[in-house]
Structure 1
Amino acid sequence: MSAPVDSLDVPEIVLDETADVLADDEPTTTFGDLGLPDAVVRKLAQNGVTVPFPIQAATIPDALAGRDILGRGRTGSGKTLSFGLPLLARLAGGTTTRKRPRGVILTPTRELAMQVSDALQPYGDVLGLKLKVVCGGTSMGNQIYALERGVDILVATPGRLRDIIGRGACSLDDVEVAVLDEADQMADLGFLPEVTELLDLVPAGGQRMLFSATLENEIDTLVKRYLVEPVSHEVDAAQGAVSTMTHHVLIVKPRDKAPITSAIAARKGGRTIIFVRTQLGADRVAEQLRESGARSDALHGGMTQGARTRTLADFKDGKINVLVATDVAARGIHVDGIDLVLNVDPAGDHKDYLHRSGRTARAGESGTVVSLALPHQRRGVFRLMEDAGVDASRHIIGRGDLFDEEITRITGARSLTELHAEAAMGAALHAEREAKRLARELERAQERAGELRSEAEQLTGRAARERGEDPQEAIAAANAAQEAAEAEREARREARRLERERQEAEREAQRPERGDRRDGDRGGFRRDDRRPGARGNDRNGFRRDDRRDGDRGGDRGGFRRDDRGGDRGGFRGGDRRDDRGGDRGGFRGGDRPGFRRDDRRDGDRGGFRRDDRPGFRRDDRGGDRRDDRGGDRGGFRGGDRGGFRRDDRRDGDRGGFRRDDHRGGSRPADDRRGDKPRWKRED
């Protein structure tokens, strides 16, 4: 077994875009020297990739030898080809059974899975290997169908792969190589339980490769559990600054944060990623930037997979040059040419800051990371920079200092006035182009009108000759008739316009002003009508005061019991109850005060008193029964009761529902004979 290859032995090299600036006294290592298949080396050369990055040069030989790999390096250092090319080379020439892939690559996000697949697919094609992405947000049916046909390598997110395995559509029993990419992010997102469940399904003895930007406690547990004598390669320290990346902190006031963000996003050239904390914040900032003239869009986990894919494609194609993203969505972004990362909201911790920063200065390119911090966030941001191991320059700026020469050099910010001037110039150019287009259309329409007029005159002359008339006279007459008809149509249009104006003027004159309605008598349902003292001569009902003026039903109008019919008797105080007995009294229209509040305040309350309810008394359930029970019993006769008056009940005889009434008279207290009807009594 060969000795582990330590990446620290590889000379530190700063590569430019072509990766060809090396020390003159050191030999140049090529992909062919690393032991990769010739077909892969030729394809790399066709894509312009000839010199491997340090982590690739250190990792590929051990990976081709079948060793377990522990790779530690910052994002953008070339890790994908470090594990992808050896994986393809080791599986080339083998046979794959349906539903049983021979290689699996686990990634934390959908975007990262798709980008890993896109990066490896060209080299898999030259080796005859099939790759398939298995992730959420896409059709599971298509993924299962591809597995049934046979897939050599799965690039998957843990959750979706576990679901497909649970359906019986996939088995990991034949997996020879398992790769775990961005393991630290999986730990941050809480995917480690699914990861361990999947790795337990991989047969023992296969090759396993794990790549992570940091090695925390949970990652160290994975390494000890699943990797056997791993070879460690650490080309870029997780907390080390990259020489081609610069870091800056701008201390701004809260009121200046939005305009400063817009000014930086409006810079010319290059791609910019803006990081915010929440999905709502991403949508809000993207909308503000679009309103200020920047070509921006949002990317976050709340979007559908199709929308996220389209947004990322637009960003890659240059249709938008500003991408506003959250941490979770942005960790899967691998786009070249991003030269500025702007942290509008500070990162949650140093690991998030490193992942954000890793979107720029990729593959040896230069990049700038700018973080906006409010005054109360200053200490936390500075501590975060220390934990991340970066040396950031600090600038305290206001709105007027934003366009200082140094700040402009760092951020490329442009004033909103300049941006608006550019937008106005663009709008003017568009308007000029539109005016020219309309002028051309008008000219063509005029030419067409002339052609049609000539054709009409020719046809008119031909028709006149057929009738034996003078063609010139017929043409002149036709032209005169046409002009007269046009004049008549114009006159009718003018008349209709004048009529509309007259009708509108009449409606305006008839429409009462708001002040007029207040000065006059508006009618019912006015609040002002209920405030004067008289309260109510204009309202016609629905007035409480109308019920206090004497007889309740005099001027109120509908819904009166007395109006239900002269001979019905039902529910009428005067007719119905007088028929029950001539001397009963109570509930008669004449005796009843009519439910007037004023009467109830003077002492004589009137009806609806609990103590005065005769209708529910056991003794009163028959019209003639009360008088037949005996002359010596006294009370409860209509003539004695009065009309539900409180004074009557207080002075002595209370009326109904008195317990003493059952015991009065000449009969003993225990004599219940008097309670029976006469026909039940026994003499």
Structure 2
Amino acid sequence: MTFAALGVPSSLAQILEQQGITTPTPIQAATLPDSLAGRDVLGRGRTGSGKTYAFLLPLVARLDKSKLPAMPRKPRALILAPTRELVGQIHASLAPLAKAAGLSTVVIYGGVGQGPQTTALKKGVDVVIACPGRLEDLMGQGYADLSAIEVTILDEADHMADLGFLPGVRRIMDKTPRNGQRMLFSATLDKAIDVLVKRFLTDPATHEADSAQSPVGTMHHHVLHLSREQRVPVLVDLTSAPGRTVVFTRTKYGAKALARQLNKSGVPSVELHGNLSQNARTRNMEAFHAGTATTLVATDIAARGIHVDDVALVVHADPPVEHKAYLHRSGRTARAGAEGTVITLMTDEQQRDVRDLTRLAGIKPTTTKVNGPGHPVLEQLAPGERTLVPGGLVVDVPVSTGGGRSTGGNAQRKRARRTGQTNGQSRRGNPTTYTSESGSAPAGGGQRRRSGGGQGSAGGQGGQASGGGQGGGGNRRRRGGQGGQSGASAPRSGGHSASSFSRGR
């Protein structure tokens, strides 16, 4: 089967071929004949199954065929997606196809200034790729009129339902023409999705391929049964192996704390969660894509739609609450037929939860009891020589998470690899404490600044790490203070300072 045989225009098929994409995936082969014919389509397929091209190809083909001009404030096609990262990724896939067809595009989401978005809309664009919240804002301000929409697409509809976006989605969809083509793609179908289907799709062609309930054959699942205090040392062992790794936590606080711990231990890591400004999220994803950071520590915001080539390992540092989240998280690896390994860390008190989780997910993982880094199974799951970079990844970020830079000659900026309040209670749930074998003191509550005096140790102003000393303050070198050294050294010597992050969602 080829794209041309499914009815994809040759000009678009050539664009795919230039990217090495020559064989349609099952969800593409199933839906393209109907979507290219103009029918409404309901498609179900797991993340990584190729849904993006399944709707982009018919969208571009239809707009190119109709040859209507882009009018000010009146886009011709709309793609709705639940997260900024997914919007950006869809846009990256669309760009070469749109260029070949002479179509203009704009991305719309919050967390950044709306100026460039409103300018593009006023000028006139063919395709809008948007998160529902910001799009509704711009519609309310009169910048976007959806009365000329020819094609509407909902991607990751179930995730939009999980995030509470469906009321906004319904209000947006109500503003699109009833006679336009509509396509809805989702990894799972439930009652919330049925409401959208019945309200907005007309006699849809329904196709299912690679559903979220069917595990990928090339994905290998493992559970590591270990003590609570060994989780960070084992994570450092796994993530310091060659290749890219995605580590999932349940909370934003947990992602931030764990990324900091990995960096201190020498694993170049970045975080991805909802508390980051859009600029920080974009910068961190670029670092992970480029390989500057080898590990991405994320909440479930990254479980949907985020594609990074060659992610060989996914680790559930906190087992997810539900099996759907497990499958979507795990879908960051073993994409497009590649091999991948998924590891869940499990403590004694989590055994029942993990057993129920894997049963509902339809998988039978291999469970191994490990007593810390250096266990033979860790080398098998993440083969290769372990490499640690002193200090991990050091990135300057604004003190504020609002995205704007501080102004003035004495603007203070803190590093992404910073010492924060790691030993306090989280906002929600009970804390999970990660302690070092060496029993070093917890990191303090203060924030280390790029300039100024005070303590030079990695413990910050609130407490001293075990290796610390008072330090030289002031002008710290990039890889540590001039006076004191951080107590967080390489994992083999057990230098993990105590931290805690929430087990709650």
Q: TM-score range by the shorter chain?
A: 0.7 to 0.9
Separation of aligned partners in 2, 1:289 and 1:413: 18
Residue equivalent to 1:148: 122
Which structure would you say has the larger RCO, counting Cα contacts within 8 Å and 6 or more residues apart? 2
Quote the offset at 1:412 in angstroms: 3.3
- Cα RMSD after superposing both structures: 1.6
* Structure 2 unpaired stretches of 5+: 392-505
Separation of aligned partners in 1, 2:211 and 2:133: 30
After the TM superposition, which residues 259-338 of structure 1 pair with which residues of structure 2 at under 5 Å, given as runs? 259-267=233-241, 269-338=242-311
Residue equivalent to 1:47: 19
Residue equivalent to 2:50: 78
Decide which of 69, 75, 95 is 1:95's aligned counterpart: 69
User: Is residue 288–residue 296 contact of structure 2 (8 Å, CA) maintained in 1?
Assistant: yes
Task: Report % sequence identity.
Answer: 48
User: Partner amino acid for 2:366?
Assistant: S
Separation of aligned partners in 1, 2:157 and 2:85: 15
User: Partner amino acid for 1:242?
Assistant: V
Runs (4+) of structure 1 exceeding 6 A deviation are none
User: Is residue 265–residue 413 contact of structure 1 (8 Å, CA) maintained in 2?
Assistant: no
Separation of aligned partners in 2, 1:324 and 1:376: 23
**Bigger-Rg structure (1/2):** 1
- Report the count of equivalent residues: 389
After the TM superposition, which residues 591-602 of structure 1 pair with which residues of structure 2 at under 5 Å, given as runs? none
Quote the offset at 1:106 in angstroms: 0.2
User: Partner amino acid for 1:188?
Assistant: D
Separation of aligned partners in 2, 1:332 and 1:229: 27
Distance 1:117 1:165, change over 3 A: same
Q: Aligned pair 1:136/2:136, yes or no?
A: no
Residue equivalent to 1:107: 81
Q: Aligned pair 1:366/2:339, yes or no?
A: yes
Separation of aligned partners in 1, 2:167 and 2:136: 11
Residue equivalent to 2:437: none
Q: Aligned pair 1:410/2:385, yes or no?
A: no
After the TM superposition, which residues 189-228 of structure 1 pair with which residues of structure 2 at under 5 Å, given as runs? 189-228=163-202
Distance 1:71 1:115, change over 3 A: same
Quote the offset at 1:261 in angstroms: 1.2
Decide which of 229, 234, 237 is 2:208's aligned counterpart: 234
Separation of aligned partners in 1, 2:112 and 2:253: 24
Q: Which has the higher helix share?
A: 1
Separation of aligned partners in 2, 1:356 and 1:312: 16
Quote the offset at 1:413 in angstroms: 8.0
Q: Which has the higher strand share?
A: 2
Separation of aligned partners in 2, 1:123 and 1:332: 19
Q: Aligned pair 1:32/2:17, yes or no?
A: no
Q: Aligned pair 1:183/2:176, yes or no?
A: no
Separation of aligned partners in 2, 1:35 and 1:419: 49
User: Is residue 302–residue 329 contact of structure 2 (8 Å, CA) maintained in 1?
Assistant: no
The CA deviation string for residues 567-597 of structure 1, in whole angstroms up to 9 with x for no partner, is: xxxxxxxxxxxxxxxxxxxxxxxxxxxxxxx
Distance 1:419 1:178, change over 3 A: closer
Q: Aligned pair 1:354/2:327, yes or no?
A: yes
Quote the offset at 1:81 in angstroms: 0.2
| SS at 1:209 equivalent | strand
Decide which of 310, 316, 337 is 1:343's aligned counterpart: 316
User: Partner amino acid for 2:17?
Assistant: A
User: Partner amino acid for 1:67?
Assistant: R
The CA deviation string for residues 385-427 of structure 1, in whole angstroms up to 9 with x for no partner, is: 111112211112212xx5343442123387xxx656x869xxx
Decide which of 25, 28, 31 is 1:56's aligned counterpart: 28
Separation of aligned partners in 2, 1:380 and 1:224: 35
* Structure 1 unpaired stretches of 5+: 1-28, 425-683
Residue equivalent to 1:376: 349
Quote the offset at 1:99 in angstroms: 0.7
State the TM-score, normalizing by the size of structure 2: 0.75
| SS at 1:173 equivalent | helix
Separation of aligned partners in 2, 1:261 and 1:343: 10
User: Is residue 110–residue 332 contact of structure 1 (8 Å, CA) maintained in 2?
Assistant: no
User: Partner amino acid for 2:10?
Assistant: D
Q: Aligned pair 1:173/2:147, yes or no?
A: yes
Separation of aligned partners in 2, 1:241 and 1:194: 32
Quote the offset at 1:330 in angstroms: 4.2
Residue equivalent to 1:65: 37
State the TM-score, normalizing by the size of structure 1: 0.56
After the TM superposition, which residues 463-474 of structure 1 pair with which residues of structure 2 at under 5 Å, given as runs? none
